[in-house]
């Protein structure tokens, strides 16, 4: 593609291929798409420089791969922290429905909820594990709790 191409045309051209590649590497379409979207956002921020590179798609692929690896390392650290808490008891049977709803949350919300309620970590510890600020954890948990309350209230209505 021409070095003077606009970002939108370039994005439409390379995004599907980048998502396919990163999804295969990640073994998960959502993780691959998230990494590519982050990389494309960075490319847009630097478009005046990126578009003049020999391979803007190659640069974006490298950035996406870096994002993916960083997120996988972070997830590994989160699993280690959970393992260190020593809380491996099974959920009581009535709570299984709640955890099915938790599983449907977006990854960030689901991670924060699990680290807080299963890992019994503080917001500060969750922030460190997820590589975000404590205020981000607080707002993420608040959003997750609202979503869960709505979903569970909806289930109660359907069960009645």
pLDDT tens string for the chain (160 positions)? 444 579 999 999 999 999 998 888 888 889 999 999 999 999 999 999 999 998 899 999 999 999 998 988 888 888 787 777 665 555 554 456 677 788 888 888 888 888 787 777 788 888 887 888 999 999 999 999 998 888 877 765 555 5
Residue 44 sits in the same domain as residue 92? no
Indicate if 95 and 58 belong to the same structural domain: no
Residues 126 and 61 in one domain: no
Query: Where is the domain boundary, 41, 76, 111?
Result: 76
Give the distance, in angstroms, between the CA of residue 67 and the centroid of all CA atoms in the same chain.
11
Is residue 81 domain-resident? Answer: no
Chain-centroid distance of CA 55 in Å reads 27
Q: Assess whether 107 and 145 both reside in one domain.
A: yes
Among residues 152, 64, 70, which one has the least CA distance to residue 105? 152
Residue range of the domain that includes 70: 7-76
- On whether residue 41 sits in a domain, the answer given is yes
pTM of the model: 0.51
């Amino acid at each position: 593609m021409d070095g003077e191409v606009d970002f939108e045309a370039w994005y439409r051209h390379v995004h599907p291929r980048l998502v396919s590649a990163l999804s295969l590497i990640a073994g998960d379409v959502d993780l691959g798409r998230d990494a590519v979207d982050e990389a494309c956002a960075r490319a847009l921020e630097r478009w005046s420089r990126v578009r003049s590179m020999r391979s803007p798609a190659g640069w974006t692929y490298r950035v996406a791969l870096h994002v993916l690896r960083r997120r996988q390392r972070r997830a590994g650290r989160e699993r280690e922290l959970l393992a260190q808490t020593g809380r491996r008891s099974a959920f009581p049977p009535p709570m299984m429905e709640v955890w099915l709803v938790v599983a449907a949350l977006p990854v960030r919300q689901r991670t924060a909820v699990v680290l807080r309620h299963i890992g019994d970590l503080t917001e500060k510890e969750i922030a460190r594990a997820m590589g975000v600020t404590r205020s981000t954890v607080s707002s993420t948990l608040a959003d997750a709790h609202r979503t869960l309350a709505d979903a569970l209230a909806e289930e109660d209505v359907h069960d009645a």
